[in-house]
Amino acid sequence: MSDIDKNISEENKFFGFLKKNKKFFYFSTLILIFIIGIVYTYFQYTKKINITLSENYVLAQIEIKKENKNEAKNILINIINKKNKTYSPMSLNLIIDNKLDNDENIVIYFDKIIGIRSLDNELKNLYKFKKAVFISETKSESEILEILKPIINSKSVWRVSAINFMKTYYTQKNNLSKAAEFQKLLEKNTK
């Protein structure tokens, strides 16, 4: 058999294979197009939501400057409830910085931010730390420790800050033995 005959034979096998599996290739192509369409639609939808949240965040800032604090608060709470990994934490910061809500509600907002699934673990730890600092004047020592223990017992970048905060907390409460324990822990972690 010559080289030309071999090439023709191989081409016939290939086209025969395509004809035999024509339905499979059509079906696979349709599925691929469908998946690409779904992914594209999802990204367009997400982009639209982010643009809307961005515009609402800017609107809330404008309302704060206009002294329409109640309107700004409502906008920011709505953004927090959307559980967006970018604009929800920023909205909580704006509420706290401008004293737009009471402490009880702010603690609830912290929990919503911490509960955002797509939020990076270190950002969650940051908001746990901020929550502990925020409640430190009004809540019990055990509630503060309950929030900070997972950070203190981890390798989080916020670990040293949490230990230092607890040392300062106990020093201010005049509990020098517990402050000394956290000082030792702090020295152990800075070596």
Residues 158, 103 within the same domain: no
Band of pLDDT at residue 188, cut at 50, 70 and 90: confident
Q: Are residues 81 and 138 in the same domain?
A: no
**In the predicted structure, residue 4 carries a pLDDT above the cut 60:** no
Do 186 and 170 form a contact (C-beta atoms < 8 A)? no
For 108-154, write each residue's pLDDT tens digit: 999 999 999 999 999 999 999 999 999 998 999 999 999 999 999 99
* 102 & 165 share domain: no
> The domain containing residue 50 runs over which residues?
1-119
Domain shared by 24 and 102, yes or no: yes
Do 76 and 151 have their domain in common? Answer: no
What pLDDT does 14 receive? 67
pLDDT for 3 equals 57
- Please, what's the b/e burial string for 165-180 (b: 16 or more CB within 10 A of its CB; e: otherwise)? bbbebbeeeeeeeebe
Average pLDDT estimate for 55-81: 97
Q: Is 176 found in the same domain as 138?
A: yes
Whole-model pTM: value is 0.78
Q: Are residues 146 and 113 in the same domain?
A: no
Task: Please give the pLDDT value at position 23.
Answer: 78
